[in-house]
Amino acid sequence: MRFASALLSVAWKCYFFLVILLSIIVLYPFLFFFLQNVRLYLRGFNLIRYQAKAILFFTGIRYTLEQPESLPSSPYIICPNHTSYLDILLIYASCDQFFVFLGKKELGSIPLFNIYFKQFNLLVDRKSPKASSLALEQCAQRLRQGCNVVIFPEGTISNRAPQLRPFKNGAFKLAIQEQVPVLPITFTNNYTIVSAQPSHFFDYSGPGKAVVIIHEAIQTSDLKLEECVLLSEQVRNKIASKL
């Protein structure tokens, strides 16, 4: 029985990534057109949102969304926990205000998938302090242009999900520096639907219902840079409160 369950989970994972691949191939000409011209970014963003929702639909993944009655005015920094490849799809599906991602440099070298990072989203080399500083400055420029920015404060997918990895301070220094709110998001069970850890490759993966919780925004207007650790703890506590 365990072998059959593992086999079905692997087959479903293959199907999940096949749906993503096919959606990119089909939409590539449109993505290329919209994501290479800053004047068309909003159309590109909306296309990616439709793409994310289509992927969720065809893979049998539903989601429930809990959020405040109102969100802060743009710009702000979105800080979710990171437990699965599913996180990115659900951010696009559940957040309708324009945003860009700060992703790791390796994403820019994946054929086809790198279309999202050639100009539209941002990349960071986490191993280089200088490159990290430059990436945060690029984020600051986007914020000054009124664009929301998504930064995973853990830096990478947690290998102990649902436990949180240590938070990096970059997003919180940036929020205080630019005096923009931080919007914490909790993904409660994405890791049980699409596990990203090789050690859990044969664990259950399959269609299911994901839970997305958008918390009240945390304001930074009264904070100083030396209080970024305090801000980090506030965000961490909000995210953890629903895990």
- For the chain, list the domains and their CATH numbers: 2-240 (3.40.1130)
Angle at the Cα of 62 from the Cα atoms of 157 and 1, rounded to 5 degrees: 75
Q: What is the mean pLDDT of the chain?
A: 90
pTM over 0.85: yes
Q: Sorting pLDDT into bands at 50, 70 and 90, what band is 199?
A: low
Higher pLDDT, 72 or 47: 47
CA atoms within 13 Å, Cβ hemisphere of 4: 1
Residue 13 pLDDT = 86
pLDDT tens-digit profile of 66-117?
999 888 899 999 999 999 989 999 999 999 999 999 988 888 888 888 899 8
What is the percent of the chain where pLDDT is above 90? 65
CA distances from residue 17 to 113, 200, 221, 242 in whole angstroms, order as listed: 12, 16, 42, 28
Q: Which residue has the tokens 């479903």?
A: 12
